């Protein structure tokens, strides 16, 4: 048995279980990403808030550079942010950007 989830259902489920994992903009991008994936592949995704929070993250480029030990020494903020984005693109799926944070699949 499947239930269709719209963005409001998606957002409310996250707010009820994991309210601090993603911004509203981050949730919008994730929701759009999952809908596009389903349309492109014909495969339905099981909606599991905890699994999504384990598999995807929304973090600032500074936090990502620290977490993944990305060397940004000597780079200005614009260059450092781009360097982090390039690193993510080379290593995982980047869903988007919101509020100066990247939404990406953890790896």
| Domain membership of residue 87 as a residue range | 7-105
Say if 2 falls within a structural domain. no
Say if 71 falls within a structural domain. yes
pLDDT digits (tens, 9 = 90+) for 76-92: 999 999 999 999 999 99
pLDDT above 80 for 14: yes
pLDDT digits (tens, 9 = 90+) for 18-70: 999 999 999 999 999 999 999 999 999 999 999 999 999 999 999 999 999 99
Say if 33 falls within a structural domain. yes
Query: For the chain, how many structural domains are there in total?
Result: 1
pLDDT above 90 for 4: no
DSSP letters for 24-79: HHHHHHHHHHHHHHHHHH-PPPP--HHHHHHHEEEEEHHHHHHHTT---TT--HHH
Say if 1 falls within a structural domain. no
pTM of the model: 0.90
């Amino acid at each position: 048995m499947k239930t269709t989830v719209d963005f409001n259902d998606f957002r409310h489920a996250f707010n009820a279980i994991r309210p601090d994992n993603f911004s509203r903009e981050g949730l919008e991008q994730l929701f759009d990403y999952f809908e596009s994936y389903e349309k492109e592949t014909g495969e339905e995704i099981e909606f599991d808030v905890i699994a999504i929070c384990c598999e995807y993250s929304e973090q600032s480029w500074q936090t990502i550079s620290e977490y993944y030990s990305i060397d940004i020494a000597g780079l200005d903020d614009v260059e450092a942010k781009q360097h982090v984005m390039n690193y993510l693109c080379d290593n995982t799926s980047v869903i988007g950007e919101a509020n100066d944070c990247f939404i990406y699949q953890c790896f």
